[in-house]
Amino acid sequence: MNRKGIPPIRIFSITAVLVVLFIIPLIIRDQYYQHLMILTGLAIIATVSLNLVLATGQLSIAQAAFVGIGAYCSTLLVLKIGLTFWLAFPIAGAAAGGVGVLIGLPTLKMRGVYFAIATFAFGELVRMVFTNWVSLFGGVGGILNIPAPNPIPFFGGALYFQTKGSFYYLVLLVMLITILVNYRLLHSRIGMAFQAIEEAEALAEQSGIPVMKYKLLAFLISSIFTGLAGSLYAHYSHYIAPGFFSFWESVHFIIMAVIGGVGTVGGPVIGAVFLTLLPEVFRATKEYEMVIYAIALITVVLFLPKGLMGLLKRVTNGRGE
Amino acid sequence: MNLLKVQGVGKIFGGLAAVRDLSFTIKKGVIAGLIGPNGAGKTTVLNLASGVLTPNQGKIFLKEKDITALKPHSVTKLGLARTFQATTLFSARTAVENICLGRHCRGKAGFWGTLFNTVLARQDEKMDRQKALELLSFMKLDSFQDVPAQNLSHGNQRRLGVAIALAADPELILLDEPMTGMNPAETAEMMDLILRIRDMGITVLLVEHDMKAVMGLCDRIVVINYGQKIAEGTPAEIQKNGEVIEAYLGAEYTFAHR
């Protein structure tokens, strides 16, 4: 990032956004809005992570399964073994990453629709295990009373995470790290190689890019952060059930990434914000939510090939790329 | 020194032998040719040598190192690069980005270095760009530096394809029909380019249908038909070889008019 200098406008706007993100829960104290901000943050983590896999040209429909793995893993570690959240949280990420590698190794050789089907099947398998292994995962009813993260000592006092306002900062921190890591990766030589794989896999391999290793790397990093999002979700909502991690949720993340604009980090962020908040705006017309979704998706696919991010760039540049 | 040694290699596709008991060697510093009628198995040989395919029998050595079972990216890293028969490029990326991607395997920073953008990572990027610009001027593509590959002319695209392969600092480059679809001027330019590549100290294995180019450029030629070697020698020897003439049926005409 410390290239020949970032334009001052860029530094200014990034700082401004950060400041706003940090003070916003102090200004907007409404519980409902704070709830939405937390959900948006979690959606951003999952969508930005998905984007990394999409960047290598692999369409994964298992994103919700990785959220679920993170959520259940951390929940069980806390409830059954009595681990502190602060240990369960990273372990949940590692577990999701581990499962990602196990699934990625045999499936990432497949491309296009075959990989999509394989990840779809895996996602549904995970959901069925959550549903049917009642003794461990609590069945369809899921698991209740998941505790909030333990307070951490802080300058003589302690930081608590029971309130939405405080949990927001935890989500914000993880979200910013996710965005930073993904941004750095996608703008590095490795990120260029990811996109080269998407564009011409055989040529990339022949040009000396370790295609399989990189696909696995993208999948691993994506799974880790997605698992972390799952853990955060469980300890925020205090309740998880298999239904939360269905195929439809995975599709939801894909739609967020596509509407926002695949390939950049900004795209998935915008997509996640847009599609988390949009349904709330149209809450009164609950039945039409899916219709609005469909219209938004079709509009973007037809008219904005690079998603909302592409539109934003065109507007700010005053012209197309 | 033998740079590439193909030893008793066979490849079977669903019961059909595309390559059978093929052996040949390429010495360092030469331009070698691999010719044969359509369907003789030339591209299969390139795919075997470059790691796209793994042979059913035999072994392949690059600088005495067994590369038989290696994947393409490892083979490239060891110093064997290739171009494709069809013009294959990262079409949406600019010319300079295409070449940078070809240099990927020469990066030194590794994953963490790249993630944290260490000095090493920045050096990698600087080297990529420097080398890419060098290659662009070597290919006389300077003025197309920031043009997306898909917008280049056919001749320029093919040269860019060669540049991607050269970016990996290979010792041996396999060129799969580099003159296909080129006009005479472009062909002449490509011939000149191949000579200049050889002069850089890079050994060339050329697969090409343009006999004039092959006979004019190559120091040694291997002829295959039905996946088997039917002749090997200097261009003069090959042109006199009865079996080769028979296999080509009309190629006699081509030879006569060079």
Whether residues B74 and B123 fall in one domain: no
B67 and B3 share one domain: yes
Residue B29 lies in a domain: yes
DSSP states of A198-231 = HH-HHHHHHTT--HHHHHHHHHHHHHHHHHHHHH
Please check whether residue B54 lies inside any domain of the structure.
Answer: yes
Residue B257 pLDDT exceeds 70: no
Task: State the Cα–Cα distance between residues B224 and B247, nearest whole angstrom.
Answer: 9
Task: Tell me, yes or no, whether B110 lies in a domain.
Answer: yes
B9 & B124 share domain: no
| Residue-number span of the structural domain to which A34 is assigned | 30-246
Q: In this structure, are B69 and B134 located in the same domain?
A: no
CA A113 to chain centre: 22
Distance CA A109, CA A58 (A): 10
Asked if B64 and B116 sit in the same domain, the reply is: no
Picking from B104, B127, B150, B166 by the largest number of A CB atoms within 10 A of its own CB, the best residue to mutate is: B104
Chain B residues in contact with A216 by the CB 8 A cut-off are none
Same domain, B158 and B181: no
What residues in B contact A196, CB-CB < 8 Å?
Answer: 90, 93, 101, 104
Instruction: Name the strand (E) or helix (H) holding A125.
Output: helix A112-132
One-letter amino acid at A265 equals: V
Bridging pattern class, strands B220-225 and B228-233: antiparallel
Q: Do B104 and A205 touch (CB under 8 A)?
A: no
Q: What is the per-residue pLDDT across B167-211, written as a single tens digit (0 to 9) for each?
A: 999 999 999 999 988 889 989 999 999 999 999 999 999 999 888
pTM of the prediction? 0.90
Look up the domain containing B40 and give its range: 1-79+172-185+204-239+254-258
Nearest of A310, A306, A274, A309 to residue A292 by alpha carbon = A274
Amino acid at B123: Q
CA-CA distances (angstroms) from residue A108 to A49, A104, A198, A277, B13?
16, 5, 12, 33, 24
Please count the structural domains in chain B.
Answer: 2
Q: Is residue A77 part of a domain?
A: yes
Residues B5 and B74 placed together within one structural domain of the fold: yes
Total structural domains within chain A: 1
Helix (H) or strand (E) run with residue B32 in it: strand B31-35
Distance separating alpha carbons of residues A232 and A47, to the nearest angstrom: 15
Segment A128-148, tens digit of pLDDT: 999 999 999 999 999 999 999
A211-247 per-position pLDDT tens digit: 999 999 999 999 999 999 999 999 999 999 999 999 9
- Considering the domain architecture, whether residues B116 and B129 belong to the same structural domain is answered as yes
- Nearest chain A CA: its distance from B244 CA (Å): 32
Residue B196, domain member (yes or no): no
Whether B192 maps to a domain, the answer reads no
ipTM: 0.89
CA distance B193 to A307: 42
> B229 in helix, strand or coil?
strand
Residue A8 within any structural domain of the chain? no
Query: Are both B165 and B180 inside the same structural domain?
Result: no
Choice between B251 and B151, residue whose per-residue pLDDT is larger: B151
B149 and B176 together in one domain: no
Q: Are B42 and B11 in contact (CB under 8 A)?
A: no
The reply to whether residue B73 touches residue A196, judged by beta carbons under 8 angstroms, is no
Question: CA A220, A221, A226, A229: dihedral to nearest 10 degrees?
Answer: 140
Which residues from A are below 8 Å from B72, CB to CB? Answer: 205-206
Residues present in chain B in total? 258
Question: Least CB-CB distance to A199: which of B90, B106, B128?
Answer: B90
Considering only CB atoms, which chain A residues are within 8 Å of B168?
207-208
pLDDT band at A312 (very low <50, low <70, confident <90, very high): confident
Q: Are residues B101 and B161 in the same domain?
A: yes
Q: What CATH number is given to the structural domain containing B144? A: 3.40.50.300
Within a domain: residue A14?
A: no
